[in-house]
Structure 1
Amino acid sequence: MATYWIVGVSGGPDSMALLDQLRVEKRSLVVVHVNYHQRDSAQRDQDLVERYCQQYQIPCVVFDGSNLGEGNFQDLARRFRYQAFREVYVAYDAGRLVLGHHLDDQYETILFELLSQRKPDYLGMRKYSRIQKMLVYRPLLETSKEELIDYCHQHNIEYGIDESNLDRTYTRNQIRQVLKDFSQEDKQLLLSYRRHYGRIRKQQNKEVQKFLKTQSSRMNLQAYQLLEDRIRPLVLRAFFKDHQIDTHEMSFRFFKDLDDKIKRGSHFDQMIDENLMLRLEYGYIFMVGTTRASYEYVLEKVQYFETKYFKVQATGPSNCALTLYESDFPITIRSPKPEDEIYMRFGHKKVSRFFIDRKIGKQERQLWPVVENARKEVIFVTNLGCDINHYSTKPSLYVVK
């Protein structure tokens, strides 16, 4: 069975020419069209895309993007569009997402990124890239818009012109107007600079990868701080990518601000998305999940077993030893709670204080074994020991992390 290609089709000459070329190549296609209902001609474009797909029996999925909420419309529209692409991409188990970006779009993107000082990994658009775990393919990057319009006329392909492209409210349209005054030589200079930028980035990326190879899933703060200013934000971007984080929407300024925060050396958590955060703690920089992990095992009697969090053994280190009495059962071996306290020989101690004193990281604390007796008293914490009433030279068991 042929692999489906998802094609983003707006109804303009570029995407309609792309769709026709792919159809002629006999690709297995699924078209995605997003109607934002922002202009009078929006329904016209949807209709012509649907007519073409009906004529050639190509599946067409239309998304209604009329309620995007408040904020920057271009940004919201782009996010919605890629979410739509992703939904269909997954549903059809697609091999790639094909987009109609052309040579004129490439000029605009290069100039936009230079003016905005985004400093991306790659200046402009690549023929192949990955966005939201989709393989994105842009086959028209060396073809001008004029050539695509000519193609549509030659092959009698209906298309629509988006009149909002003339609206100078949007930065992209302002850049489009500026480029009209560029000579062909000026545009070639943009492409030449793009190649020069790529060579510099390639060398910098070698330095980045050389550093990251010396680190594990956690970066050593001191080693990171010794890197040159120009390299550190690039290391952060690569570190994010190594953790399967899509950095496409993250600007250089974002990584520079994060670098400034890390340089101060104070503990902090930085939310990355709803599932992940970056943490600086006890001299290391690392990623952690935002979901709090917990566990609970109830024992009616002494028994020896192993879990992914701890082991209950007949022997072990002295600070893992616990003596139990019949009145303690059933005991519960569980993850810590914020209110946990234990009564030691030197007085009551908050379990959280023990973690801080031992410099145990927040992520590791969540899974640290605590033993509670039938009266809901914390009687033992691994590596701290047991409370004043459960210490003896003949322990019942050892709870080892």
Structure 2
Amino acid sequence: MLILGLICLRYNYLSVIMIKSSLEKDFKHLKHHKLLLAVSGGVDSMVLLHALYTLGFDILVAHCNFKLRGEDSDLDQKLVEEFCQNNRIPFESKNFELDLSKNIQLQARELRYKWFRTLLEKHNCKYITTAHHLNDKLETFFFNLSRGTGIDGLVSLQTLKGDVFRPLMGFTKAQILEYAKENQVIWREDKSNQSQKYSRNKIRHTLGVSFENLSEKAMENFDKSYMYISENKEYIDFKLTETLNFISKQVADEIRIDLQKLLALSDFEIRGIFSKYGFSSAFEIRKLALSKNNATMVSVSHKLIKYREEILLVPVENSEEKAETILIQNPLELQKILEESVFEDLLLDKLVFPLSIENYSSEDQLFLKPNHQRKKISKILKDRKLNDLHKQKVKILKDAKNRVILVLGIQTCANFSKKAYLNIERNLDFTS
């Protein structure tokens, strides 16, 4: 029993030393930056707060209060706030209201990270720092696996990913608990973590525990396998980027993909390329490629549009132009907007200011010859074989009398064009 006690004592001591030495050695370069530390009041985040503070890291603590557990939620905030006050650590907190009829966990995640990123910019912090650990990595692995994820979902938790930093990813929950006990770190238990109402909690208390108990090295070996899968993902991502570059070209905010090259790819390649844009079905993408012109697919972030021998991939926010109007008060302002040759061609004395740049309507038209041959703008765009996406981006210039002066980048109304009148004069000279 004495030997067993000494072994446990040594293990406890090593857990404390390992966590601090890892933070000090592996992330020493981050001491030159301010870190935004998300602290809930639970053992994981309180241990990370204690460790970073005692090691002299520059931190700003952020606490989210979702008011889901009544007084307990307020006591969580009080614990974190008092620790920060006692140790002169900058502290920010915010109360949130959730729609209880919707996915609470998803809402909470979206709201807190949106707020964190606001604080990140406001206080010039380097990273959002969280206390995710090795057991969280295992839990997320199985959770995403149960939902039919690809390789991205299997290794979604990384120590550093974008603006999120997770310095405890190499440590187990047991090691974090030992650190808390050895350093007398005070924390609060969230009773909802014991409930098996949520899938993550079920995995944590059943599958996670069973896996960890398989062998002494089960968690260590899992971490090693996770690293191997992550390396495979990096290589696959590199090759898929090469493939996308081969089959497409970038034009402004559009990626234009060659249909024949796309159809020659395997389902794995198609799914891998388009999954990061929100499209996971290779079958549906092939179906779109064989559809009629202007057929579309839409994800949360992007739109795919079939047009002739290409598929256009565009961000959703850019696929539909906002119906905003820009007013132009005088010729000087107009000159700054138009190309020099277009501006020089305008009969400025015929324009009635202020002018406006706006979306065209189905009734808007212009003259192809001075006071003759009126044609709808929609017909002009169709004749020029513009696809629906490009039509949505077309703007027109009107004057105060609501007359179309020109279609930006396409055509000037003959009634306001010097060249159009000059052509008439030349024709008259020729006939006379």
Relative to the length of structure 1, the TM-score reads 0.77
- Per the alignment, residue 41 of structure 2 pairs with 11
Q: Is the 8 A contact 1:333 1:369 kept in 2?
A: no
Read off the aligned partner of 1:178 and give its amino acid letter.
L
Residue 122 of structure 2 is aligned to residue 91 of structure 1? yes
Task: Quote the Cα distance in structure 2 between the aligned partners of 1:94 and 1:12.
Answer: 23
Seen in structure 2, the aligned counterparts of structure 1 residues 314 and 139 have a Cα distance that, compared at 3 Å, is closer
Tell me which of the two structures has the higher relative contact order, counting C-alpha pairs closer than 8 angstroms and 6 or more residues apart: 1
Task: Quote the Cα distance in structure 2 between the aligned partners of 1:6 and 1:348.
Answer: 62
Q: Is the 8 A contact 1:306 1:312 kept in 2?
A: no
- Per the alignment, residue 198 of structure 2 pairs with 170
1:70-123 per-position Cα deviation (integer Å, ceiling 9, x unaligned):
301111111122122222212211011211111111110111121112225361
Report which of the two structures shows the higher radius of gyration computed on alpha carbons: 2
Q: Is the 8 A contact 1:298 1:330 kept in 2?
A: no
Shift of 1:154: 0.9
Q: Is the 8 A contact 1:103 1:145 kept in 2?
A: yes
Read off the aligned partner of 1:216 and give its amino acid letter.
Q
Task: Quote the Cα distance in structure 2 between the aligned partners of 1:105 and 1:336.
Answer: 50
Shift of 1:325: 10
Task: Quote the Cα distance in structure 1 between the aligned partners of 2:164 and 2:111.
Answer: 16
Shift of 1:15: 0.8
Gapped runs of 5+ residues in structure 2?
Answer: 1-30, 426-432
Seen in structure 2, the aligned counterparts of structure 1 residues 329 and 161 have a Cα distance that, compared at 3 Å, is closer
Q: Is the 8 A contact 1:110 1:190 kept in 2?
A: no
Identical-pair percentage: 21
Task: Quote the Cα distance in structure 1 between the aligned partners of 2:338 and 2:392.
Answer: 10
1:248-284 per-position Cα deviation (integer Å, ceiling 9, x unaligned):
xx6x74x7697467445452373746xxx53525333
Q: Is the 8 A contact 2:267 2:282 kept in 1?
A: no
- Per the alignment, residue 364 of structure 2 pairs with 340
- Per the alignment, residue 90 of structure 2 pairs with 59
Gapped runs of 5+ residues in structure 1?
Answer: 241-249, 316-320, 397-401
Count of matched residue pairs: 368
1:285-329 per-position Cα deviation (integer Å, ceiling 9, x unaligned):
2336244365565778xx9x85455334599xxxxx78x697x44
Seen in structure 2, the aligned counterparts of structure 1 residues 145 and 158 have a Cα distance that, compared at 3 Å, is same
Is 371-380 or 115-124 further displaced after alignment?
371-380
Shift of 1:376: 3.9
Q: How does 1:172-187 map to 2 (within 5 A)?
A: 172-176=200-204, 177-182=206-211, 183-184=214-215, 187=219
Q: Is the 8 A contact 1:204 1:231 kept in 2?
A: no
Q: Is the 8 A contact 1:10 1:34 kept in 2?
A: yes
- Per the alignment, residue 150 of structure 1 pairs with 178
1:21-70 per-position Cα deviation (integer Å, ceiling 9, x unaligned):
10011011111111222225323322221221122111221221244453
Is 142-151 or 214-223 further displaced after alignment?
214-223
Task: Quote the Cα distance in structure 2 between the aligned partners of 1:373 and 1:30.
Answer: 54
Q: How does 1:246-325 map to 2 (within 5 A)?
A: 253=280, 259=285, 262-265=288-291, 266-267=293-294, 268=296, 270=298, 272=300, 278=303, 280=305, 282=307, 283=310, 284-287=312-315, 289=318, 290-292=320-322, 295=326, 307-312=336-341
Is 364-373 or 196-205 further displaced after alignment?
364-373
- Per the alignment, residue 244 of structure 1 pairs with none
Read off the aligned partner of 1:42 and give its amino acid letter.
S
Match of 2:238 among 199, 206, 212: 206
Read off the aligned partner of 1:220 and give its amino acid letter.
I
Shift of 1:236: 2.7
**RMSD of aligned alpha carbons:** 3.7
Task: Quote the Cα distance in structure 1 between the aligned partners of 2:191 and 2:395.
Answer: 64
Shift of 1:228: 2.0
- Per the alignment, residue 148 of structure 2 pairs with 117
1:151-174 per-position Cα deviation (integer Å, ceiling 9, x unaligned):
111111111111111211111001
Seen in structure 2, the aligned counterparts of structure 1 residues 23 and 380 have a Cα distance that, compared at 3 Å, is closer
Is 190-199 or 82-91 further displaced after alignment?
190-199
Shift of 1:178: 2.0
